[in-house]
Amino acid sequence: MPEYHEQVYQPEEDTYLLLKYALKEAGPEDKILEVGTGSGLIAMEMSKISEKTIAIDINPYACISAKKSGVEVIRCDLLSCINTRFDLILFNPPYLPTVSEEKIDDWLEYALDGGEDGRKTIYKFADMLGDIMSKTGRCLLLVSSLTGVDEVSDYFSRLGLLSLIVAEEKIEDEKLYILRIFHDMCSFNE
């Protein structure tokens, strides 16, 4: 496996679980966005399926790493730079519950720190997701038992988005889930 910059998240079990289900979900006509691409591994594999794949990350070292893998990447904070809709959105977010005394002031912290309940970045992402997901679009989101999958599903539901658990995998003392999120057609706004 290639070695990435020390400030870039190295692909782990969560990366490979999301990749596995992204490979099942993606089609050649899909406009694909990977949020928080890190090394760029997932976006690189998606680019082989659809030429219309782009990735974003807030970490400049991650952007350099993804670019080196041949991925079209934009450095931005979550979806703030996106003004078009995508058919498939992928996100393995920072999800570890982190209190302020545990915070480390470096770029890798963005890969891990999910705020006090682990859901801070997920909720910010959720607030913007409906506006950038196409009518028949879907999002695959990695969620951990440390983060609380029911709480995350409830949050999407309050935003008029439906979610289903499509995969779960036990790793050491945590369980990883893939949530598949899509529009509730009754509340979709063009």
Ligand X SMILES: C[S@@+](CC[C@H](N)C(=O)[O-])C[C@H]1O[C@@H](n2cnc3c(N)ncnc32)[C@H](O)[C@@H]1O
Q: Which residues are near ligand X by CB under 6 A?
A: 9, 11, 15, 18, 36-39, 42, 56-59, 62, 77-78, 92-94, 110-111, 121
Residue 77 vs 127, nearer CB to ligand X: 77
Residue 15 vs 50, nearer CB to ligand X: 15
Q: Please, what is the minimum distance in Å from the beta carbon of residue 186 to ligand X?
A: 30
CA dihedral angle for residue 157, residue 29, residue 111, residue 181, rounded to 10 degrees: 10
Residue 157 backbone phi and psi in degrees, to 5: -60, -40
Residue 17 vs 161, nearer CB to ligand X: 17
Q: Please, what is the minimum distance in Å from the beta carbon of residue 119 to ligand X?
A: 13
Q: Report residue 18 as tokens.
A: 């999301």
Which residue minimizes CB distance to ligand X?
Answer: 36
Q: Please, what is the minimum distance in Å from the beta carbon of residue 184 to ligand X?
A: 26
Residue 92 vs 147, nearer CB to ligand X: 92
Q: Please, what is the minimum distance in Å from the beta carbon of residue 170 to ligand X?
A: 18
Q: Please, what is the minimum distance in Å from the beta carbon of residue 117 to ligand X?
A: 16
Residue 39 vs 163, nearer CB to ligand X: 39
